[in-house]
Structure 1
Amino acid sequence: MRIGIVVDSACDLPMNYLHQNNIVLLPIAVRIGQTVLPDQRDEAATLAFLQGPLSDQGAEAETIPYTAEQIRDLFLKQLVTDFDQVFCLTITRTRSPLYDNAVQAGYSILNEYKPIRQAAGFNSPFSLRVIDTQNLFAAQAVSAVEAVRMRDSGATVQQMRERLEQVAGNVHGYMVTRDLYYMRARARHKGDRSVGLFSAALGSALDIKPVLHGYRGETAPVAKIKGFDNAVQTLFDFVGKRVSHGLMTPVVCVSYGGPLDELRALPGYAQLRTTCDAHGVALMEAVMSLTGMVNVGKGAVTIGFADELHTFG
């Protein structure tokens, strides 16, 4: 059986990994003023954006995910003949309409695919499963990597479905951002009051950086640490402890809102890589998507892994 895997632009995996593993991308467009930039997970284009004049207007950007009609068209024109079963892994539905759009598109796809497949010489049924990864950015990528691992190991569709839903409910995402004022401006533009003016001002004045935790569709601060370097080192040290304890899947995904050389130079990162290597855990790094960067700002770090329920610290 030909099993396809579909993710959206916010899923922080390198483009070469997507290509090597035949993962299909649902692009998210980013509109800044009158300019619309398609987020195709092109790292060079994303880094060029950081150096350009539009990056200063990122807090006012509008992200535009594929509509139900666009998803339907992609499947009927290509995917229902390329694959027999597709797993569509979306950014958490609490932060984007993409999951609901994909579910809505699924009804049309499953009602309309038969004559298209028959014309292409396929008489077997086509199946689609939409899974809410319940997380964002690097944490969203954990489910996609597990889907690839299971597909390559010869798992059945039922085994993959059950496992991917289990993993999605146990992925922990963490983020440290450099600029709370940017986060506040972005939140206000989107009508989200979760980062108040006083908190942003206080955090910047004292150089306090919150560590945010994403889990099962919810995001909340779990620590406040003085200094960005101290915050990321504390985060990397904590992730290393969880790796040593034993993860649910053998991967840690990390993304950075800038060149990866800057990520690799951050305090604690080299030790995290050493710990992952020692425990047979892949440390997969990617430039953060354009979609992610306009939401959380330049220089932010996100990291994700599948693990039992735990307390940060």
Structure 2
Amino acid sequence: MTVHLIADSAADLPRSYFEENGIGFIPLRVSLSDKEFEDAVTIDADQIFEAMQNGETPKTSQASPQTIKNVFLQYAETGDPALYIAFSSGLSGTYQTAVMMANEVKEEFPDFDLRVIDSKCASLGYGLAVRHAADLCINGNTIQEIETSVKNFCEQLEHIFTVDDLTYLARGGRISKTSAFVGGLLNIKPLLQMEDGKLVPLEKIRGQKKLFKRIIELMKERGGDWGNQTVGISYAANEEKAIDMKNLIEDTFKPKEIIMHSIGSTIGSHAGPGTLAIFFLKK
């Protein structure tokens, strides 16, 4: 029996990937200049980054309940099981809303096997989990096998983030404006990581060379089995820096595959242009 896969725009995968693999798409929402947009549908990340560089502060919100319900209903009518892998509940309320909408849909379609997973992942890390699930769907795994495997995958996934300009985190209330000003003067680059679905500070590095060196050290400490895994790199209006990071990772670890994609509007609205993130599996 076919298992249908659903994900949302915070996975930071190209829309073409969703379309080519028949994956249901749920857009999160972004507000900019008093107008509301659907992430990756009516606005793209480049527009967000340009606006932020011009001093605007976009705001984000979870996917609307009706949007989520409509996607679920679409699959309920097929009679096949469906699995929604959601953006981390630590960063968005979309997962909780999806659980409520799933219960409503199941009241109307009691035989519909619909499952909702809190990935506790973000950006292309979340995207790697979606790709993993898609491969399992193609291979004909059952929904139980896919659900179990995806949960294990997400638990093993490392997220290492760095931002180029602390000002954007200050605007969003993540750090004080004084810290952002001093950090900028000293060329301090913060490293952040995901813990239980939330983005938390790891350490501060001065200068890009030391930053790249430290990221490689963390990958050596935490990662492994490189020849059998895909590394993800997401970036925000700094593709050249991401390519430099990609080349360094290739030379050091020779992973099976490295995929790159721009950070989307949702996460980009908080992190800002210049953000770089690396995703890989733990040892």
> TM-score, normalising length from structure 2?
0.89
1:81 corresponds to which residue? 77
Aligned mates of 2:220, 2:261 — CA distance in 1: 19
Partner of residue 233 from structure 2, selected from 227, 251, 254: 254
Give unpaired runs (5+ residues) of structure 1: 115-124, 188-193, 309-313
Question: What amino acid is the match of 2:246?
Answer: Y
Q: What displacement does 1:227 show?
A: 1.7
Question: What amino acid is the match of 1:33?
Answer: S
Q: What displacement does 1:131 show?
A: 0.6
1:203 corresponds to which residue? 183
Aligned mates of 2:41, 2:136 — CA distance in 1: 24
Residues 1:163 and 2:149 are matched in the alignment: yes
Question: What amino acid is the match of 1:149?
Answer: D
Residues 1:135 and 2:131 are matched in the alignment: no
| 1:214-253 matched pairs, under 5 angstroms | 214-236=194-216, 238-239=218-219, 242-243=222-223, 245-246=224-225, 250-253=229-232
- Distance change in 2, residues 1:3/1:25 (3 Å): same
2:268 corresponds to which residue? 293
1:273 corresponds to which residue? 250
Deviations along 1:7-38, one digit per CA (max 9) or x if unpaired, are 11111222232222222211012111322222
* Percent of residue pairs bearing the same amino acid type: 21
Length, aligned pairs only: 283
- Distance change in 2, residues 1:288/1:199 (3 Å): same
Q: What displacement does 1:228 show?
A: 3.5
Would the aligned equivalents of 1:255 and 1:285 in 2 still touch at CA under 8 Å? yes
- Distance change in 2, residues 1:55/1:87 (3 Å): farther
1:63 corresponds to which residue? 60
Question: What amino acid is the match of 2:67?
Answer: Q
- Distance change in 2, residues 1:39/1:55 (3 Å): farther
Deviations along 1:147-200, one digit per CA (max 9) or x if unpaired, are 01211222221111111112222221111101111111112xxxxxx4123432
